[in-house]
């Protein structure tokens, strides 16, 4: 997937300085999602909606944006190869296509997956909302084509809790942030403040709501998500700010669910090291 995104990324351009992300801005240049469903690719015009309803889907749904992209595999409703493109932007954290998550997979039974269909899909500029219906419940994915911020989440509505397994991409690892004590993930590459290779440090954090972490290694985490709960992800400043975390939202939760306003932001960690032992 990284190759495909690289071909679609905007040509590299010099960036003069890298400013910190703000609480609401996730990109300085805007985003633009295109989506491929059943082999047909659609990229709606600026300000226009693309909608689908009650569609039988096979294979994968490919989502490609200016700043990030990923695949949704219909067989298990897992998300694969969640990638930052590294397109020029003052908020970017990489300078080339980088797989942040190799996979984010819910453990759904055959009965829970039976009759899976795309109940609704809405794509508009830099936002995407996909809702899948099955014979046993509903599964929702929200995404925003930003270089960082609260830009992705998966939400379950089944009668029973669902286990999620997150696996980081090659070269990324979980570590304990010495300034906050929180578990973050990244690649350990320091920020570059100016020039054509300017970028912020790649920092992220799993963002659960009504969910409990059940295991963690240097490259994977597992979570038990209660009905109506969700697993999100935040990147950049939102991943390290000194907030209390997400609220216990169980209905219509937003991918940008976060504290608004001025919050303390610690310095970037220096030479972070992968977690050495499993931790909860």
Q: What is the CA radius of gyration of the chain?
A: 18
What is the Cα–Cα distance from 270 to 238, expressed in whole angstroms?
18
Distances (CA, A) of 69 to 66, 126, 179, 195, 269: 8, 11, 30, 25, 27
What is the Cα–Cα distance from 116 to 54, expressed in whole angstroms?
10
Answer whether 176's CB lies under 8 Å from 275's CB.
Answer: yes
- In the block, which residue shows the tokens 């909302």? 129
Nearest to 207 by CA among 244, 181, 179: 244
SS (H, E, C) the chain: CHHHHHHHCCCCCCECCCCCCCCCCCCCCCCCCEEEECCEEECCCCCCEEEEEEECCCCEEEEECCCEEEEEECCCCEEEEEEECCCCCCCCCCCCCEEEEEEEEEECCHHHHCCCEEEEEEEECCEEEEEEECCCEEEEEEEECCCCEEEEEEEEEECCCEEEEEEECCCCEEEECCCCCCEEEECCCCCECCECCCECCCEEEEEEEEEEEEEECCCEEEEEEEEEEEEEEEEHHHHCCCCCCCCCCCCCCCCCCCCCCCCCCCCCCCCCCCCCCCCC
Phi, psi of 183 (to 5 degrees): -85, 120
pLDDT digits (tens, 9 = 90+) for 13-58: 333 333 333 333 378 889 999 999 999 999 999 999 999 999 999 9
Task: Output the pTM of the full model.
Answer: 0.85
Q: How many other CB atoms sit within 10 Å of the CB of residue 50?
A: 17
Domain locations along the chain: 21-239
What is the Cα–Cα distance from 68 to 56, expressed in whole angstroms?
25
Burial class (CB in 10 A: 0-12, 13-18, 19+), 170: exposed
Per-residue pLDDT of the chain (280 residues; tens, 9 = 90+): 544 444 333 333 333 333 333 333 378 889 999 999 999 999 999 999 999 999 999 999 999 999 999 999 999 999 999 999 999 999 999 999 999 999 999 999 999 999 999 999 999 999 999 999 999 999 999 999 999 999 999 999 999 999 999 999 999 999 999 999 999 999 999 999 999 999 999 999 999 999 999 999 999 999 999 999 999 999 999 899 876 554 555 555 544 444 444 567 899 999 999 998 655 5
**In this structure, which topology does domain 21-239 adopt according to CATH?**
Beta-galactosidase; Chain A, domain 5 (2.70.98)
């Amino acid at each position: 997937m990284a190759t495909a995104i690289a071909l679609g990324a905007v040509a590299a351009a010099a960036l003069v300085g890298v400013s910190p992300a703000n609480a609401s801005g996730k990109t300085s240049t805007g985003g633009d999602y295109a989506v491929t469903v059943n082999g047909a690719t659609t990229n709606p015009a600026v300000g226009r909606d693309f909608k689908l309803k009650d569609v039988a889907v096979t294979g994968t749904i490919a989502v490609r944006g200016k700043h990030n992209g990923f695949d949704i595999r219909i067989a298990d409703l897992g998300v694969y190869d969640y990638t930052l493109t590294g397109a020029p932007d003052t908020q970017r954290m990489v300078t080339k296509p980088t797989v942040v998550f190799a996979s984010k997979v819910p453990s759904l039974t055959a009965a829970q997956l039976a009759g899976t269909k795309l109940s609704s899909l809405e794509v508009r500029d830099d936002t995407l909302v996909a809702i899948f219906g099955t014979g046993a419940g509903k599964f929702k994915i929200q995404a925003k084509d930003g270089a960082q911020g609260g830009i992705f989440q998966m939400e379950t509505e089944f009668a029973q809790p669902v286990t999620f397994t997150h696996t980081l991409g090659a070269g990324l690892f979980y570590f304990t942030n010495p300034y906050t004590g929180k578990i973050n993930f990244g690649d350990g590459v320091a920020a570059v403040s100016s020039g054509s290779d300017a970028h912020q440090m790649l920092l992220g954090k799993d963002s659960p709501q009504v969910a409990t972490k059940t295991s963690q290694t240097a490259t994977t985490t597992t979570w038990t998500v209660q009905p109506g709960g969700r697993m999100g992800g935040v990147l950049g400043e939102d991943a390290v700010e000194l907030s209390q975390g997400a609220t216990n939202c169980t209905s219509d939760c937003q991918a940008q669910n976060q504290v608004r306003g001025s919050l303390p932001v610690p310095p970037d960690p220096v030479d972070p090291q992968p977690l050495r032992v499993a931790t909860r």
